[in-house]
Amino acid sequence: MDFTLSDERRMLQDSLSRYLADNLDHERRRKTLDSGAPYDADLFKGLADLGTLAALFPEEAGGFGGTGPDIALVFETLGRAGTLEPFLPAALAAPLLTDHAGLVEQIIAGDSIVTLAHTEPDARYDLADVSLSAKPTLTGTKTNVLYGAQATHLIVSARETGDRLDPEGISLFLIPTDAPGLTITPITNVDGTASAQVAFTDTQADTRIGEPGQGHALLETATAHAILALSAETLGAMEAAKDLTLAYLQERQQFGRPIGTFQALQHRIADMLTEIEQARSAVLNLAGHLDAPRDTRERHVSATKNLVGRVAALVAEEAVQMHGGIGMTQEYELSHHARRLVMADHLFGDVDHHLERFIHLSGG
Amino acid sequence: MDLAFTQAELDFRQEVREFLATSLPHDLSEKVRLIKRLGKDDYQRWHAILNDKGWLAPGWPLKHGGAGWSPVQKHIFEEEACLAHAPRTVPFGITMLAPVLLAFGTKAQVNHHLPRILSGEDWWCQGYSEPGAGSDLASLKTRAVRDGDHYIVNGQKTWTTLGQYANKIFCLVRTDPDAKKQEGISFLLIDMDTPGVTLRPITLIDGQAEVNEVFFDDVRVPVENLVGEENKGWTYAKYLLTHERTNIAGVGFSNAALATVKRVASEVTSGGKPLAQNPFFAARLAQVEIDLMAMATTNLRILAAAEAGRAPGPESSMLKLKGTVIRQELTSLLRRALGPHALPHQPDFLDGGDNTEPLGHEQAPGAAPAYFNMRKLSIFGGSNEIQRTIVAKSVLGG
Ligand SMILES: Cc1cc2nc3c(=O)[nH]c(=O)nc-3n(C[C@H](O)[C@H](O)[C@H](O)COP(=O)(O)OP(=O)(O)OC[C@H]3O[C@@H](n4cnc5c(N)ncnc54)[C@H](O)[C@@H]3O)c2cc1C
């Protein structure tokens, strides 16, 4: 067993961390958000130039990574810095674009953004819940499309046969966002990230991803990658929230001494540290099983998303509480991480969804 | 033992219901129901309606324009008002300052200030906390120095809720820097438009500028604005804390929030069926409801003791603890119930009138902001850590 990072991964992590330390802080992030821009395009390009996106794709696709540990390392580093930039779409799209070398090249360079348009307004977290129809043009609505208003292409799930909740009969299509019949409404999320609602009206769909009707398995694979990425990002945000809290406990004085000397808070930070280690192990579990057979991989997907979701809410709530009033202000960095920690549970299935799914996958 | 309300109390509840049905404007209750952001006008409008009925100040004596209600009546009103989605009444003048004036103020102060609170002419805010004095409030530093018939005030208050709407602030200030820290504090009333008072809004985690910093730079305050005796302010502040803690459990708010979560869970679907039928969500919801049922009775037990004239002890700390945990859990359940719909930030809907369409579900825009905003419940009014310390001390000493 070896939990150390290879030299190459360590170098990538170091260069990303250094670049982020120099180019992103809470004030800059707030300026970006206040400007109405969805994210800092220069920062995105700069991170792409460092190989952030290349690390999400395997060598045969023109990248230099793409394994579970690569994804985990990149996203933990991004999460710790609290980036708003569109990396999650690349993690989602990577396993789906094996036949699209040219597009992948543009993604790696940061010139194209390909995102998944899957969730429908009433679908909640069920991957099979697709009613947008492909007969053969696409008509229907997708929501929570990550960076949908900035994307150059969408991978759209659509139903060709079967009923609304049927895993069979779902197909995937690659569509440029300037295709006729698309109405894209940009959304800013509560945590500052961007998404969109996309309405399709008789939109032409010529480029398939995978076999007709076999999209569900691909969606699972893509979602497994995205859940690893998001869980690692969440782990990074936990670390950031913990660091702020630790520093504050030592610095803030009440009743003539640092509040970190009160045992009531000492025990709480101890619990927080313990739970974050659990979250780290859960992320490693999924990273190590990303290429495992479907049933094994999916058990880890649900286990990790459930555990990380629980710990994320605990860390956010406890960090704010231990800060007192200051923890509730927009001006203070913690508020960004706290929102990200909590809202991540609303993407790709929340703690309850994955608990139920884990029981199911375990034969329950 | 009898858990039932008396006939008189039931009649009173009926009267309250009828009043709310006829007098609570629909546009206001819709704002509250959808967790939209209320402005000064909204609060003042509701205050005026309550004042016309004589119900704005439930605990004040009748002769000062109060309703003269018993603790149980206040509780019944709060329960019904919450269920009807009435705006909350702004507590600073009515339930914080007025009782202190009635107990320790001069006749002139009572006669001057109470009518202005009722009429809405004055909007008070609470100037206790400072950057360095939160849980350790007695370490506050804002200085008031006597200069003839004025005090000269210098310093800073913070976290001042709705200070942006206020024209008056009641403050704890240090008048004797050499005394023990609790003993050099005075209770002072300050006009916000006095030269030297400035306000800076603080935006909270939910994006709302609900609190403020208030700065005092050589502010001249007439000595007649002192409440009670100089250097006795701490006693008055503590009186306020122990005697005006009705509704500290927020049972009414929780009942209303529970009803909202139930409704949403029956409207949104999971796997093609109402979320309410999902055993995982149903279990979470049932768990909070069970806690709330017991807490409601704890609350009534303490109310009954208060009616019998017993001052609440550590029980009010227990109520604050349990009550805030339940309220926070309900905001978390609403957010969970909405699933992906809780993600979009929809400030236009939250600020706007009736014509902005919500994305996803009508309760979606308010859900996550309310969850984040309600983190404050366990921080202010004596943090939950401080409440636990009070409870432990009451049995272990120290
Ligand atoms: C939204 C909001 C509105 C508010 N409105 C007002 C207002 O209108 N007027 C006003 O005067 N104030 C107001 N407050 C201030 C509020 O009363 C303070 O936030 C509160 O007293 C806590 O102080 P603090 O924020 O400085 O936290 P701190 O006191 O610094 O506490 C930080 C952490 O340390 C813990 N802690 C502190 N001491 C101990 C101890 N001895 N043992 C164990 N743990 C401890 C606390 O529980 C907390 O978790 C408001 C606060 C908020 C968040």
Checking if the pLDDT of B244 tops 80, the result is no
On whether both A51 and A75 belong to a single domain, the answer is yes
**Which one from B79, B210, B244, B315 is the annotated catalytic residue?**
B244
Q: Is A26 on the interface with B (CB under 8 A)?
A: no
Pairing between strand A194-203 and A182-188? antiparallel
The listed CATH number (1.20.140.10, 1.10.10.10, 2.60.120.380, 1.10.3720.10) that belongs to domain B245-396: 1.20.140.10
- Per-residue pLDDT band for B240 (boundaries 50, 70, 90) equals confident
Q: What total number of domains does chain A contain?
A: 3
On whether both A91 and A122 belong to a single domain, the answer is no
pLDDT score recorded for residue A97: 97
Distance CA A142, CA A43 (A): 28
On whether both A291 and A222 belong to a single domain, the answer is yes
User: B211: distance to nearest CA of chain A, Å?
Assistant: 10
On whether both A231 and A352 belong to a single domain, the answer is yes
On whether both A226 and A204 belong to a single domain, the answer is no
- Convert B230-239 to b/e letters by CB count within 10 Å (16 or more is b): bbbbbbbbee
On whether both A236 and A356 belong to a single domain, the answer is yes
In sequence order, what are the residues at sequence separation of 6 or more whose Cβ sits closer than 8 angstroms to the Cβ of residue B277? none
pLDDT score recorded for residue B354: 66
- Residue A253 forms beta bridges with which residues? A258
Q: What is the CATH number of the domain that holds A47?
A: 1.10.540.10
Task: For residues A202-224, give the mean pLDDT.
Answer: 97
Separation of CA B105 from chain center: 23
- Per-residue pLDDT band for B243 (boundaries 50, 70, 90) equals low
Taking a contact as any Cβ pair under 8 Å apart, which residues of chain A between 343 and 362 contact chain B?
A: 343, 345-347, 350, 352-353, 355-356
Could you tell me the residue range of the domain that residue A147 belongs to?
Answer: 114-213
DSSP letter for A178, please.
T
Distance CA B18, CA B355 (A): 29
> Rounded mean pLDDT of chain B?
95
On whether both A196 and A330 belong to a single domain, the answer is no
Task: For residues B165-193, give the mean pLDDT.
Answer: 97
* A197 belongs to a structural domain: yes
| B9 is known as an active-site residue | no
Distance CA A114, CA A106 (A): 10
Task: For residues B21-27, give the mean pLDDT.
Answer: 97
DSSP letter for A324, please.
G
Checking if the pLDDT of B247 tops 80, the result is no
Checking if the pLDDT of A4 tops 60, the result is yes
- CA closest to A351 among chain B residues: B336
Distance CA A161, CA A167 (A): 10
- Tell me which fold the domain B121-231 belongs to: Butyryl-CoA Dehydrogenase, subunit A; domain 2 (2.40.110)
The CATH code that applies to domain B7-89 is: 1.10.540.10
On whether both A187 and A275 belong to a single domain, the answer is no
Q: How crowded is residue A331: how many other Cβ atoms within 10 Å of its Cβ? A: 12
pLDDT in tens, A108-130: 999 999 999 999 999 999 999 99
Cβ atoms of B21 and B40 within 8 Å: the answer is no
pLDDT in tens, B219-235: 999 999 999 999 999 99
On whether both A288 and A337 belong to a single domain, the answer is yes
pLDDT score recorded for residue B339: 97
Q: Which of B170, B185, B173, B187 is nearest to B142 (CA)?
A: B173
Q: What is the CATH number of the domain that holds A303?
A: 1.20.140.10
Q: Which two tokens stand for residue A343?
A: 């809202």
pLDDT score recorded for residue B353: 67
Domain-terminating residue out of A180, A213, A246: A213
pLDDT in tens, B135-147: 999 999 999 999 9
On whether both A256 and A299 belong to a single domain, the answer is yes
* A1 belongs to a structural domain: no
Domain-terminating residue out of A157, A182, A213: A213
On whether both A312 and A339 belong to a single domain, the answer is yes
Distance CA B248, CA A174 (A): 56
pLDDT score recorded for residue A297: 98
Distance CA B80, CA B13 (A): 8
Kindly report whether the global pTM for this prediction surpasses the value 0.95. yes
On whether both A99 and A11 belong to a single domain, the answer is yes
Mutate to test the pocket of ligand 1, among B96, B380, B390 (most ligand atoms within 8 A of CB): B380
Mean pLDDT lowest among A351-360, B272-281, B302-311: B302-311
Q: Which two tokens stand for residue A15?
A: 């260069």
